[in-house]
Chain A
Amino acid sequence: MSKIIIGRYIPGDSIVYRMDPRSKIIGTFLFVFLMFLANNWLTYGILILFTLVAIWATKLKPKIFWDGIKPVIWLIFFTSLLQMFFTSGGRIYWSWYFLKITQVGIENAVYLFLRFVMIICISTVLTLTTSSLQIADALQWIMKPLKIFKVPVEQLSLVMAIALRFVPTLMDQTVKIMNAQRARGIDFSSGSLLKRIKNIIPILIPLFITSMTVALDLATAMEARGYQEGKPRSHYRVLSWTKADGIILGYFLLLSIGLIIFRTK
């Protein structure tokens, strides 16, 4: 579990950490879109440079990013190879029935590989440097325009915040239940697939019941503390734009202009 780096937050302190989560989320989405503007070596070079600067600015060890790519590296290789064998155009280097390696094929494979790695790196920059709470706050801000369509943004964000707050608590619960069932003789790590699935039941049922109890208790506590649905609430946690956010968004503007200028028609 702890090996998966995607979606994990590592506390630290650097310019990226101090940035507003909203600009980080918007930036990450923008970056993914911008990636599809790139279609030659120069534009890819610009994007790689940007990615490297972003990684450097987090002041985290580069190895952490490699850890993020490692679990999906075979998927990336496999897609790249497919791209290589099934794209035609340019000079043909090698062919065998329907498989052939061409100049354009190799180029596309490398582009695809880079694209994958960069998207993973940039989204890892976002998740490593932004706590789930900040992400929830930022999403709430981003969802605000949906109020026009009568989407209950306030309630949704409270739901999100409470869900995030209870993830570690329920994780602890799960471990405790698993240990308790182990103490009664259940083996979670061996047996046929069917048997292993059956073994999950003694974890799931108590976990569901606990979640219900927690939900009821929490609802009572919230009500006792004066929560009323739909009543206007103030916010203790307010996001504020910093200078770094201006810089980063300007940076993105330059990046988009650069990509549009240098991409080949």
Chain B
Amino acid sequence: MKDIIDVKHLSYTYADMQTPALSDISFSIQEKSWVSIVGHNGSGKSTLSKLLDGILEVDFKKNRILIDNILLDETTLPQIRDKIGIVFQNPDNQFVGATVQDDIAFGLENRDISYEKMHQIVPIVLEEVNMLKYKEKEPQNLSGGQKQRVAIAGILAIQPKIIILDEATSMLDPEGRKEILKVIKRLQKKFGLTVLSITHDIDEVMSSDEVLVLNEGNLMGKFLPDELFENEELVVKAGLVPPFLYQLRKEFEKKGIDIPRNLKTEKEVVEFLWQLNLKK
């Protein structure tokens, strides 16, 4: 697998801040993988996502950002934005159009796509996120989850290679959150997308391919989810609560019962606990 995102020596300091938001970060991300970015509030996660899309400007000579083998600078900015779609945190504040279909078309309009082509693409992408029957609706008549699905459709319309979820599910109810993640999982498989997800959601971190941990602007490293949750110190630094299974295992360890590490699902652990007394 080739790397689709390659970042070398990336630093960024906001104009009105003393300490850098990000200091000397280097990492790479494989094509078609699902990577979670975790860290405390203010650790630089959102800054990172904005830098990757060129929304925040840096000195492009010192900070090397390579997206799908294109070096990010002033001249390649439009190309880069064709490759990356971002779903932001607040579903209300990213809805540009007056109706659902207008909003989907916004990205296409910006790329000067012809009238006929736009009217072909819009229903197709709305169908992908199962929102076609809402195409005439106005944003105030949609739920948060529906607005985020529209945002995803708007991104699909421009056929990007990378989707960045900037805490896209954090303002949704549990129902909406599950729905959005399901939709993105399906689309990732279908279109071979790379997903970069900034999140605090344990389930999502658990199910991702790799996890980047940021702490006060420093990159603590890239881990497999398992590796991360085994390392208690790291989990705290990442601002996460360990998943239920890991907590349970620790509690059992205190009582002198070891649950084998290779049991990864709740079902397996339940099976193990059932048989525990039989063996004695």
Contact = CB atoms under 8 A, between A and B. Distances in A.
Contacts of A161: 97-98
A263 interface: no
A226 B78 contact: yes
Shortest 6 CB-CB contacts between residues of A and residues of B = A236-B105, A217-B93, A221-B94, A226-B110, A168-B140, A225-B107
Given A217-B88, A224-B85, A228-B78, 12 more contacts: A133-B98, A168-B140, A169-B92, A172-B140, A213-B93, A217-B90, A221-B93, A226-B158, A227-B106, A236-B109, A236-B122, A237-B105
Nearest to A235: B109
Interface in B70-92: 78, 81-82, 84-86, 88, 90, 92
A218 B93 contact: yes
A223 to B, nearest CB: 6
Contacts of B98: 133, 161, 164-165
B110 A225 contact: yes
Given A221-B88, A226-B107, A235-B109, A162 B96 contact: yes
Interface of B: 50, 53, 55, 78, 81-82, 84-86, 88, 90, 92-99, 101-102, 105-115, 118-119, 122, 138-140, 154-155, 158
Interface residues of A, number: 29
A234 B118 contact: yes
A218 B96 contact: yes
B150 to A, nearest CB: 12
Interface string A166-194: 00110010000000000000000000000
19 contacts: A133-B99, A168-B140, A169-B92, A214-B93, A217-B90, A218-B96, A220-B50, A220-B88, A224-B81, A224-B88, A225-B110, A226-B111, A228-B78, A231-B112, A234-B108, A234-B115, A236-B101, A236-B102, A236-B105
Where chain B touches its partner, the secondary structure class is helix
Contacts of B82: 226
B107 A169 contact: no
Nearest to B89: A217
A95 to B, nearest CB: 58
B220 to A, nearest CB: 27
Given A168-B140, A217-B93, A236-B101, A225 B88 contact: no
A96 to B, nearest CB: 58
Given A226-B111, A234-B113, A236-B115, A221 B96 contact: yes
Interface in A87-139: 133
B110 to A, nearest CB: 4
Nearest to B119: A236
A116 B167 CA distance: 55
A231 B110 contact: yes
